[in-house]
Structure 1
Amino acid sequence: MLDIFQQAGEEMLLLHGRRSFPNLVAGFTTKHGGVSKGAFATFNLGLHVGDEVSSVCRNRQRLADLLQFPLEQWVCCEQIHDARIEKVTSSQSGKGAADYKSAIAGTDGLYTKEAGLLLALCFADCVPLYFMAPKHGMIGLAHAGWRGTVKNIAGEMIHLWHEREHIPLDDIYVAIGPAIGACCYIVDDRVITYVDCILDGEQAPYKQVSIGQYALDLKELNKVLLIQAGVREEHIDISGYCTSCADYLFFSHRRDQGKTGRMMAFIGRKGE
């Protein structure tokens, strides 16, 4: 079975879902096709990891050209492993696109109803969550590491869309993108304590591998939280890619021992 993210050139994978959404552009980059050097070779898109800013900006321009989505229409945020989400408009176009200081502060999730904006977040093992409500023209993107996951950033996006934006739960679709898998993600009792606190009686998506050590499936945990929030299970798709295993495609913070680049998850709607 084909993955929901399919490679489209060396630089990226594009989301291929079951939903009809005119002019949707959504995907996830690889580590190939850029100009960065050393540990960031070559398509690092993170401005905050110690790479040459000029190289990152050239890489981002490369992605903008490929997507035909100008940097001036990107919106990026600081990403602090929390659960704060912001609704964005064209007045925030360009924030964080060319310099990290202008990114939306203290935020790990973005959503918009406006066409002509590309929501763009950086990843290197954490879970990218893509939200879509085609009938309502709404799109969203969230960054869910283990901290953001146990703070339920997935459920918070659903709550905002349902309560504030009045979108019926049955109209919401979510794609869970490439991220580190349980095959490579071992955590300790401290993390599992947080995981157990947010589960509402569901089967815990982890297994003990040794005393005090557990293989945690962060993608599956986010799926459980989305279902708890009211999203229909058949409206959730999960990528099979593990960013740690697929060393031929992706950077991995854990595999690369912290010194590495960042992929970018992106979603936007082009103007009519």
Structure 2
Amino acid sequence: MSIQTPIRGLRSFCVAAKCLSFKHAASQLYLTPSAVSHQIKQLEEQLGTELFIRGTRSITLSAMGKQFYQSVSPIIHELESTIIEFTQRTSNKTIVIALPEFFASELFIPKLKQWSEQYPEINLQLEMMSVGEEASPLADLSIVLSSGQPNASIVNELFPMRYIPACNPQVFEQFNQSPQSLNQLPLILHRSRPWAWHQWAELANIDNFDPQQIIQLDSMYGIARAAQQGMGVALIPLPISQAWFDEKSLVPLFDCALDTKDRYFLIQHENLNNRPELTLFSQWVNQTFRTN
């Protein structure tokens, strides 16, 4: 078949093949029955075969018509779905942003009302990521936690991370404020930073640091939640967990914080610079979450 075959002819054929009526197909396509018949006739001429057996008051698919419909129908359906998706995305100005779950729950979503009220015509689609997980290739923007500068076209640093020992108020009341007492309590940290407690102890000049139990979790939210439930003392990331301290769900044990190279970055992909809504959203993210 020639590559010049118009898409509308294939679509008219699929609709007519489904309802077995040029009249009903024309109604669905907002065309006249003669226009549908003409488009299908052109398609048959290009294929060199009849797709329909035409009766006085009815039509049926020929053997070749059935085979052609089975091959073409899924392609036309997928094409229509893609066109609808892109049309909706263009008209609605939807932005897809990938971001870590803890960042989303503790910082992004609580501030999202500001954006929604300022730009109600721009939709957002959030895709949550676990620590270390790569962002979806379909994302327009990404927020990532990294110890180094991400390899991307446009990168803006938002803020660095530091970690502070904390527990719930009940454990705090039982704690005698001696650094050595940490050896008798379960110590909680993220499994991606298995030596973080030892690094903190060295920074705090704690001698004979030998914890009885260390619990590693793969979720920042899980770490904060475990400490809040009284499981032990956790290295809590700041400033991202500040709300837990403001609400008195967690209490800091020491002033000494472990500063790291970990930083949150906003990444914009190079092939999307011509979308003004992305510029607006990037500016809002930077103004809202960036610290100097």
Which one has a bigger Cα radius of gyration?
2
Which has more helix, going by share of residues?
2
Q: One fold, TM greater than 0.5?
A: no
Q: TM-score, normalised by structure 1?
A: 0.21
Q: TM-score, normalised by structure 2?
A: 0.20
Higher relative contact order (CA 8 A, sep 6+): 1
